[in-house]
A and B are shown apart, each in its own frame.
Chain A
Amino acid sequence: MEPEELTELALEAAVAAGAGYADVRWVREETEGLTVVDGRVDNLEAEESSGLGVRVLVDGCWGFAASAVLDPARARALAGRAVEVARASAATGGEPVRLAPAEPAVASWSTPVGRDPFAVPLAERVDLLLAACDAQRSVAGVAHAKGTVDLWRRRTVLWSTEGTRVDQTVTQTGAGIEATATGGGDLQQRSWPNSFRGQFQAGGWEVVEAADLVGNAPRVAAEAVQLLAAPVLPERVTTVILDGQQLSLQVHESVGHPLELDRILGMEAAYAGTSFVGPGDLGRLRYGSPAMSVTADATTPGGLGTFAFDDEGVPAQRSPLVAEGVVAGFLTSRETTTDGAGSGGAMRADGWGAMPLIRMTNVHLEPGQGTLDELVADTADGVLLSVNRSWSIDDRRVNFQFGVEAAWEIRGGRLGRLYRNATYDGRTTELWGSLDAVCGPGEWVVWGVPNCGKGQPYQNARVGHGAAPARFRDVHVGGVGR
């Protein structure tokens, strides 16, 4: 049965059962994850999942039901179950949910793709990763060489009782390498273009080609070996330059999440947490220095948070979150909007089986000027911190600590010795208040964060962050281990 037919059946059944509002998403997801380790295929996971998710409002209460096991009778039954769930939700009372008005969306859209990554023969993908592993293992001292390619495609058919009819297909591609050196009771890794399986963008095989895994493999492997012999970063307060990869996660954890309006309103309190930002801080709270401007932009080409419509059928938007250091906006939905505003189009669900939540789209630190080389040359004393290896932040998004793969001393405007096991920590507004330079558009890359967790049941989201290397003053750094 065609997805539109199942969707319509469920929509009609939801209304017949008493839903005042309903939207139904049929989602088909294809994923392929390939891992090559030390010259052999370690794992290839190919998965196909399709299912239906029915969301209803009954007397101002939400209900949601979803299933992968589908036929016409089950589609109707699913709608009935969603209404049953919503009716039960009235047990605790409270203000009814009201949705901000939104024009019904009627459209089809697909991610622009250069070369369809799913059409790239498996043998070609394997050969690329084998070559990248060989290039890593050509460096003496490398214990393990790893290469990965991940492909994701999600088609969503979204229909609502307000007339929305959206058919949208998002294709995302990623690849990376990871060299490991071991010895003396220690283990060090260096990754390219990013850690945790590499760089991910919306698009096709061209994303993999742009990463030049083979060309970068010898350098990455050599750095892993050098790290094993490097000293642990000494503790001190100093100037820090974060590279774009690490900065993207700093933006994610300490800017994106605190500005999600559902967190601010307490809707994620028990699980992901809340925010130090309050609803009344809009236009008032100084978040960072004037060098800090942050934008949410679901229209950015190549972003993991790029789409044409969110999972409520709201068009993709670009809007300021922080303007020259002051809070200028929140990430919002139709249920959670600021006074008089419509939805910001940030509602996204982890496939057919989950209720949409407010999620980051692409949250960018806007570029400044100059190159990384110029920024280093302009720094008398400090450290350059590169590529994330651990992250943690408190439940109101204030106190953070990040670990990175590599740290280079900066002295007299030049990069110096390499340090291992580096961490830095601080508090959100203090760090952003100390930002004094962001590199320019030539250094600005939309980095993918493919593993953003939120919600109950747990949902994963893939989001993007444009970032260029940036400099912060008076940051506490240190190292862990021997």
Chain B
Amino acid sequence: MTAFGSERLLEVAEAALGTGGADDVEALVYRQAGGLTRFAASRIHQSAWREDLWVRVRVVVDGNRVGTATVHAADPAAVRATAGRAAEVARTMPPDPGYPGMPGPATAYPEAGRHDEATAGADPATRAGLVAGVLRRLPAGVAAAGACETRELEIALANTRGVRAAGATTGAGFSILVDAGSGTGWAEGTEPALADLDVATLGERAARKAMDSREPRELAPGTYPVVLEPNAASVMVQWLGWLGFGAKAYDEGRSFLVGRLGQRVCSPLVTIVDDATAADTIGVGFDFEGVPKRRVTLIDEGVAASLVYDFRAATGHGVEPTGHGLPAPSAEGALPMHLSLLPGQTPQADLVAGLERGLLVTRFHYTNLVNLMDTTITGMTRDGTFWVEDGRVVGAVRNLRFTQSILEALSSVRAVGAETEMATEDGYGAARAPALAIDRFAFSSATTF
């Protein structure tokens, strides 16, 4: 049982649908509540709880004049006033000749997401207890920082074409950075349910990495074989998601896939899907236009296979929308938000064992796009960068900057790990990925620690 519940959220949405003089009305209700217990220098220092609920109303008048307005409030009077404001905006907007209408009701929405009551109701003492337990088990002389988060998400959408969709999900995350003086180590876990997070193991992993990272030696920048742990691999998958799987980006020529659909763009070992219905992801069964979410294979054994479509792009292309719409009208168009690089056959430990000479990378920091069309990104390694010889980690190296085309890196994938993790980079987005063994990865400069 959720805090608000589907029926109540749909009632909030329906308050907007009676807007006078409108051809179409849509109301999207989004509620998120949760707590985050943050620690640094091995003590809790910024613990917080927050609840937000917003209603975004889209109103269409005169056939194709579209206005939107959003309010952070749940009472019907505020929602109706916001709908009125959206109608006012619509009346002053120029006509949108490409307005595709709104989606109608779906016959069914897929099962998606997992709502765990214990996670939704986790209190600050529960999170603090988990943090304290991990800190107690750390080796003497180290300091730790990180966060434990629990959250509940509820979404409902209703429109005047008959769509009524509602869903709920939960999520939990734990991250820990251990500072052992001249070396740091890090680990992170994200799961739909707090009980599935093995925080003790994450703490041990971060501590072990920190101890192993001490006294790093300098390594000259250059192109090396690497094993990227799931977090670092996930960052590349997330960037691809931003850089051009959406039909609008493709149509406007700002997608790396322009001219490449149907062609081989990665190693045959690489398959990337977007699947909100997977049991191990966090999501609901419909998009922000009320369209059912579908599993889409974006890169199929190395071949660029497909795009994702919102209702507008799908109507323009004469195809079915894939359920990847953002709140419309969207400057971005459709985006894949439940990406997964599918696991391979090689146990993660064996990826390092198969590396003759190269680098093991725990995590990337502050990656950013350098060149869209060839998917070049730059960023730093962080909190555990190791030199490997003859399949064994022989010591830590100072952090390095990489400047690397994602597609080129994924084209030289030699082996794919058998285990996946859902990972984030500094909280932006999330994607599930295994560790990857890559033959060529370009490091452009080094830092001082």
Contact = CB atoms under 8 A, between A and B. Distances in A.
A481 B407 CA distance: 13
Contacts of A393: 366, 380
Interface in B20-44: 35-44
A84 B72 contact: no
Interface in A143-179: 143-144
B254 A187 contact: yes
Contacts of A453: 426
Contacts of A458: 426-428
B51 A69 contact: yes
A145 to B, nearest CB: 12
Contact of B132 (A40, A66, A92, A123): A92
Interface stretch (A203-211, A212-220, A264-272): A264-272
A270 B372 contact: no
B372 A456 contact: no
A270 B45 contact: no
A193 interface: no
A357 to B, nearest CB: 8
Query: Interface size class for chain A?
Result: 35 or more
Contacts of B132: 91-92
A456 B50 contact: no
A86 B366 contact: no
Nearest to B186: A270
B43 A94 contact: yes
A393 B448 CA distance: 12
B401 A276 contact: no
Nearest to A420: B371
B376 A480 contact: yes
A7 interface: no
B147 A51 contact: no
Interface in A26-75: 35, 37, 40-51, 61-69
A88 interface: yes
A453 B425 CA distance: 13
A interface majority secondary structure: mixed
A394 interface: yes
A87 B49 CA distance: 13
B309 to A, nearest CB: 17
B339 interface: no
Interface stretch (A109-117, A240-248, A396-404): A396-404
B48 A457 contact: yes
Nearest to B91: A122
Contacts, number: 267
A266 to B, nearest CB: 5
B436 interface: no
Contact of B371 (A61, A69, A273, A481): A481
Interface string A344-374: 0000000001110000000000000000000
B366 A392 contact: yes
Contacts of A187: 253-254, 372-373
A51 B52 contact: yes
Contacts of A353: 50, 52
A437 interface: no
Interface stretch (A100-108, A307-315, A319-327, A421-429): A421-429
A88 B369 CA distance: 40
B136 to A, nearest CB: 9
B367 A67 contact: no
Contact of B380 (A95, A126, A392): A392
Contacts of B367: 392
15 contacts: A40-B94, A42-B331, A43-B329, A63-B124, A64-B46, A66-B51, A82-B49, A89-B44, A122-B93, A187-B253, A265-B41, A269-B179, A458-B427, A480-B403, A482-B374
